[in-house]
Amino acid sequence: MHAGRMVFSQLMDFLPMHAFRACVQRYRGDYRLRTFFCMDQFYCMAFAQLTYRESLRDIVTCLRSFHPKLYHAGIHGTVSRTTLADANETRDWRIYADFAHVLIRKARGLYARDEFGVSLEQAAYVFDSTTIDLCLSLFPWAHFRRHKAAVKLHTLLDLRGSIPCFVHITDGKTADVTALDDLPLEPGAIYVMDRGYIDFARLYAFTQSLAFFVVRAKRNHDYTRQVSRPLNPSTGLRSDQTIRLRGPKSSRLYPEPLRRITFFDEISGQRLILLTNNFTLPALTIAQLYKCRWDVETFFKWIKQHLRIKAFYGTSENAVKTQIWIAISVYVLVAIIKKDLRIDRSLAEILQVLSLSLFEKEPIYQVLTQTGSQCLEVTPCNQLILFDS
C-alpha cells in the first residue's frame, strides 16, 4: 500500500471508490463538469475535516502550499475558493449522504462483535438529537427561534462501536419526536430513548414492527398495575411491573401491555422510571441499557470537538448538509482504519496524528503506531573545573 505514497493517499485507499462513483452517477454529480469533480470536492472537504481548517480560504491556502503533491494525493482539479464554494452550494448533498451510509455499513460489520458493557445478543441502538446553533442572518432557512437559527442532528447510534447508523438533519424548530417517523425499524433490535420521545402512537409502531424500545417515562403518565415481579433491591431495582395505560387517549394509541421498571442509580442519585415492550430481558439488563444512552451524548460532544460541524464553509442548506455528511464519513473512515489496522489508540489521537502527517511519505500504519520518544545522547562534558571541591 505504501510504495512511497503519501499518508493522505493511503488513507483514501480505505474508501470504496466504486461505491462513491455509483453515488455520484445516481445524482449526476459530475454531469457536464470538465474539472474539479465530486471526488476532488470530497477530498478537499475531507482534508478540511482532518486538519481542522477554519474557512474556505484556509482550506485553499493550505492545499495550494502542497500544490506539487496534490495530484499524487488524488486531487486532480484546480483548487480555488470559488470553485469549492460553488461545489458545496450546487452539488447534491445526497451524494455524500449515500456514500456515508456505505461506509457505515462497512464499519458496522467490523464492530459487530464488540462489547459495550451489556451482555446482549440482538442489536442495540440509542436515538437522540443535538442542536447546532447558527446565525439567523446567514442561515435564514434554519428556523429555530425568533433571533437564532439552528440545525438538529437526529442520530441513531449503534452501541457496538459507537457508529452513527442513521442521521436525519432538520432545522432547529423540528420536534425531536417527529424524527421517529423517519427512523428505520429493525425487527428484534432494541432502541433506547429519553422521555422526549414519549408518543404512544409512534411507540406502538415499534411493537407492530417487532422492534423493542426502552424509554424513560414521564412522571404524570396514568396507568393500572397488573403484575409485579420479584426483584433484588441491592441491585438498584425498585419495581418491575406489567401495566396498561389508563388515559382515554394513551390507552387507545397503545392498547397493549407495557413493562414499567423503576431503578435507582446510586452514581447519579437519580430515580429512573423506564417503559419498555420487552418482557423477556432481565429488568437489570434493561436498566443498564438505558444507562448506555449517555454514549450518544459522548458521540455528539466528540464530533463537535474534533470535527468541523459547528462552523460551516457555506450558508445554504445544501452546503451545510454536504459538510455534515462528509464529516460523518471522516469519523466512520477513522473508525474503519482503527479496526482494520488494529491500532491501539483512541479516535481523537488518530485524528491528531493524521492532521500533522497527511502529506508525509511513510506507511500509514507506522505513522499511527509509532510512539517512541527521542533519546538524546549524553556527550561527555569538556568543561574544566574552576574550583576544587
What CA–CA distance (Å, rounded) separates 86 from 30? 13
Q: Which of 267, 300, 333 is the last residue of a domain?
A: 300
Categorize the per-residue pLDDT at 74 as very low, low, confident or very high, splitting at 50, 70 and 90: confident
The pLDDT value given to residue 385 = 58
Count of other CB atoms within 10 angstroms of residue 145: 11
Does 106 map to a domain? no
**Claim to verify: residue 290 and residue 347 sit in the same structural domain:** no
Q: Let me know the angle formed at the C-alpha of 380 by 379 and 383, rounded to the nearest 5 degrees.
A: 125
The pLDDT value given to residue 375 = 46
**Claim to verify: residue 173 and residue 293 sit in the same structural domain:** yes
Q: Does 314 score more than 80 pLDDT?
A: yes
Count of other CB atoms within 10 angstroms of residue 70: 22
Tell if the pTM clears 0.75, that is, is over it. yes
Mean pLDDT of 103-127: 92
**Claim to verify: residue 135 and residue 266 sit in the same structural domain:** yes
**Claim to verify: residue 258 and residue 180 sit in the same structural domain:** yes
**Claim to verify: residue 295 and residue 343 sit in the same structural domain:** no
Mean pLDDT of 17-36: 94
What CA–CA distance (Å, rounded) separates 368 from 337? 10
Number of domains in the chain: 2
The pLDDT value given to residue 4 = 76
**Claim to verify: residue 83 and residue 204 sit in the same structural domain:** no
Does 230 map to a domain? yes
What is the overall mean pLDDT for the chain?
A: 91
**Claim to verify: residue 202 and residue 343 sit in the same structural domain:** no
The pLDDT value given to residue 372 = 57
**Claim to verify: residue 296 and residue 324 sit in the same structural domain:** no
The pLDDT value given to residue 3 = 62
Does 55 map to a domain? yes
Helix axes 347-357, 38-51, angle to 10 degrees: 110
Q: Does 22 score more than 60 pLDDT?
A: yes
DSSP letter for each residue of 121-136: SS-EEEEEEEEEEE-T
Closest among 272, 309, 288 to 130, alpha carbons compared? 309
What's the pLDDT tens digit per position in 239-256? 999 999 998 999 999 999
198 or 387, which is more confident: 198
Positive or negative: CA dihedral 228, 119, 116, 327: negative
Does 1 map to a domain? no
Q: Let me know the angle formed at the C-alpha of 355 by 353 and 358, rounded to the nearest 5 degrees.
A: 95
Does 73 map to a domain? yes
Are 262 and 284 spatial neighbours (Cβ–Cβ below 8 Å)?
A: no
Percent of the chain at pLDDT exceeding 70: 94
**Claim to verify: residue 144 and residue 207 sit in the same structural domain:** yes
**Claim to verify: residue 293 and residue 263 sit in the same structural domain:** yes
Domain holding 55, by residue range, is 7-94+314-369
**Claim to verify: residue 324 and residue 347 sit in the same structural domain:** yes
**Claim to verify: residue 265 and residue 326 sit in the same structural domain:** no
The pLDDT value given to residue 121 = 87
Does 108 map to a domain? no
Mean pLDDT of 32-55: 94
Question: What CATH number is associated with residue 293?
Answer: 3.90.350.10
